[in-house]
Amino acid sequence: DAGVTQSPTHLIKTRGQQVTLRCSPKSGHDTVSWYQQALGQGPQFIFQYYEEEERQRGNFPDRFSGHQFPNYSSELNVNALLLGDSALYLCASSSLAGMGLRSEQFFGPGTRLTVL
């Protein structure tokens, strides 16, 4: 049973460019959340997708957008990249029941984005 997968593993971009990160949830899961983890810090919640709609959003600018596909996979898009966007981007999945507080989220290995 495959866990949460993310691609690419590493990515290098320059300021002003746009980037797309991809996530496939764990089998049986239908909810995807994205987190940004700057070096030496805890993950920060970006947003959550369920039924192809954004359901919750953290304190991130509109440059950060996302999408969820009918197969539950998800993309995170970041426009007009800034140096401060350099971070590990983590994807987490859970099931519909996972909308509850008790639910455990399963995390992927992350995509390391470096902005030069």
Partner 1 sequence: AQKVTQAQTEISVVEKEDVTLDCVYETRDTTYYLFWYKQPPSGELVFLIRRNSFDEQNEISGRYSWNFQKSTSSFNFTITASQVVDSAVYFCALKTSGSRLTFGEGTQLTVNP
In the complex, the residues that contact partner 1 under the rule CB under 8 A are 31, 33, 35, 40-45, 48, 55-56, 58, 88, 90, 92, 94, 98-99, 101-110, 112
Supply the minimum distance, in Å, between the C-beta of residue 14 and partner 1. 23
Identity of the residue, 58 or 67, whose beta carbon is nearer to partner 1 in the bound complex: 58
Identity of the residue, 30 or 85, whose beta carbon is nearer to partner 1 in the bound complex: 30
Supply the minimum distance, in Å, between the C-beta of residue 109 and partner 1. 5
Identity of the residue, 6 or 78, whose beta carbon is nearer to partner 1 in the bound complex: 6
Tokens matching residue 23: 């996530």
Contact 5, 70 (CB under 8 A): no
Supply the minimum distance, in Å, between the C-beta of residue 55 and partner 1. 7
Q: Identify the CA nearest to 11 among candidates 113, 106, 115.
A: 113
Q: What distances in angstroms separate CA 94 from CA 6, 15, 34, 45, one per listed residue?
A: 15, 33, 12, 15
Identity of the residue, 79 or 109, whose beta carbon is nearer to partner 1 in the bound complex: 109
Measure the CA–CA gap between 56 and 89, rounded to whole angstroms. Answer: 17
Measure the CA–CA gap between 86 and 82, rounded to whole angstroms. Answer: 8
